[in-house]
Structure 1
């Protein structure tokens, strides 16, 4: 993310931060669903 901010001056920082948050939330959702589908508990 830092490289993206440093080397892409035309991209608004708000857009980059929004995308980063969306991506982290999506990764968490996918990880949770993966464990739930296998019938296991996600690691803490």
Structure 2
């Protein structure tokens, strides 16, 4: 029961995968930046 067997277009699925990958990458970058800033602030305190 593939996507072509169901008669659905493959292009829209590919675009959804690309959009999801970009969104996940953005979220990972934001989390990484947030954690880096928190840890770097904690390390500078005497």
TM-score, normalised with respect to structure 1: 0.64
Structure with the greater alpha carbon radius of gyration: 2
Let me know the Cα RMSD of the aligned residues: 2.2
Structure 1 runs of 4+ aligned residues shifted over 2 Å read none
TM-score, normalised with respect to structure 2: 0.62
Query: Which structure exhibits the higher relative contact order, with contacts defined as CA atoms closer than 8 Å and separated by 6 or more residues?
Result: 1
Name stretches of at least 5 consecutive residues in structure 2 with no aligned partner. 38-46
